[in-house]
Structure formats: structure tokens, C-alpha cells
Chain A
Amino acid sequence: DIQMNQSPSSLSASLGDTITITCHASQNINVWLSWYQQKPGNIPKLLIYKASNLHTGVPSRFSGSGSGTGFTLTISSLQPEDIATYYCQQGQSYPRTFGGGTKLEIK
């Protein structure tokens, strides 16, 4: 199975900040990496697919980059509604696997 290692596991930042979450795959996954946002008590919501493609309706302050084994999710100009846990997921092979999550808090 492909292991997905996310860091940091938690992050505290101020409104207006730019933050970056990283995801490292245990083997080459090309660009088959997606990012999800899950707010407390809610379902996961797709943000980014194929490493850098913004899903419909997702604000442009979210962006993704990377290929191979290293990927990043960047949120610029942090907003209060960005408080959530963020997960990466690989779609290169079965079984699909998710990262452990990054819990984002506002200072």
C-alpha cells in the first residue's frame, strides 16, 4: 500500500496568513493526488484534484502543487471559514489511501 504522510499534524495561524501543508507519498504517484477539507461535524469536501486542479466552487486562495512523491496545499489569506482538518489522498493505485490529516486552527 502507498503510505501518505502529511505534515504538520496541526497548525495554528492568524487570519490573513498564508499556510502550507505538505503530503509525501511512499512511492511515485505522478499527479494522482487530491486534497479535501473537513469541517467539524461535516463531510469531506474536495478542494484540489490531480495535484493542482481547483475543484468547482473552491475559492482561488486554495492552491496545490507537486508531482511524484511530494505535494503541497497552500491557503493564502487565511479566513475564519478555513478552520478545518485537511487530508490528502492518492489515486495512483489501490487501495486508495489518505494522509493522517492536518488540523488547522486560527490563533
Chain B
Amino acid sequence: EVLLQQSGPELVKPGASVKIPCKASGYTFTDYNMDWVKQSHGKSLEWIGDINPNNGGTIYNQKFKGKATLTVDKSSSTAYMELRSLTSEDTAVYYCARSKYGNPWFAYWGQGTLVTVSA
């Protein structure tokens, strides 16, 4: 069974950073890309970027360049997204989701991590 396990909610102060893990299981980690998606409360979905766990190659939405950094740890089959210089605009649920080159849809999603930015 494919599972993407994310960490629990985070409360962070403005200006701080947070690193969200997404641990994959049930498939070969390096066979699929990992994408990240933002959903602000009551809003639609925004694609942040994706990473190829095989070579660490990344593609970012220009809107999130400088805000988000995607990395992976192949030894633990875990993808990470670090968000920096957080503001209230970054308060949202962040999802990891699996995709594949040539299959640009998201059949598997993590449960989401709520990041709340507040003093």
C-alpha cells in the first residue's frame, strides 16, 4: 500500500523557517517524483514544485522560488520541504503528492501538514 506520511501541525513565528517531512512507503521511492502543493484555508490548490528523488533535480513554481526548498533523503525514503522567512501568507496546509514523468497527475497524497504562522 502506497503511503505518504507527513508530520503534525506546526506553529511557527513570523520570520522563522519550518521543514516538513513526507515519508514514503509501499513503493520504490526513486521511481516517482514528489510534488508539493499548498492550500490556504478555503482556497484552491497551488503547486509549489517537485523533486526527482533519483538525482535531486527540482522544478519550482516561480512564485515559490526563494520561499520553498525541496530535498530528499533516499536512505529513509523521505522528501522534505523547507519554508523560510515565514509570514501570515504562508499559513496553509501543505501536501506532498506523488507523480511520475509522463504521468502528471497525483494519485497519492500525504495527509497534509498545517503550518500556522503567528507570533
A residues at B contact (CB < 8 Å) = 32, 34, 36, 43-46, 49-50, 55, 87, 89, 91-92, 94-101
Contacts and interface: CB of A to CB of B under 8 A. Distances in A.
Contact of B46 (A32, A43, A92, A98): A98
Contact of B105 (A49, A97, A100): A49
For the residues of A in contact with B, the DSSP-based class is loop
B95 interface: yes
B76 to A, nearest CB: 22
A32 B105 CA distance: 8
Contacts of A101: 44
Interface of B: 35, 44-47, 49, 59-63, 95, 97, 103-107, 109-112
Contact of A44 (B59, B63, B103, B106): B106
Given A43-B111, A46-B105, A87 B44 contact: yes
Contact of B106 (A32, A46, A94, A100): A46
Given A44-B45, A87-B45, A101-B44, A95 B62 contact: yes
A34 B59 contact: no
B35 to A, nearest CB: 7
Contacts of A87: 44-45
For the residues of B in contact with A, the DSSP-based class is strand
Given A32-B104, A43-B95, A91-B104, A96 B109 contact: no
A89 B111 contact: no
A46 B107 contact: yes
Contacts of A94: 59, 61
B62 to A, nearest CB: 7
Nearest to A95: B61
The 3 A-B pairs at the shortest CB distance, nearest first, are namely: A91-B104, A95-B61, A96-B47
Given A34-B104, A96-B35, 20 more contacts: A34-B106, A43-B95, A43-B109, A43-B111, A43-B112, A44-B106, A45-B109, A46-B105, A46-B107, A50-B105, A89-B106, A94-B61, A95-B47, A95-B49, A95-B59, A98-B44, A98-B47, A99-B44, A100-B44, A101-B44
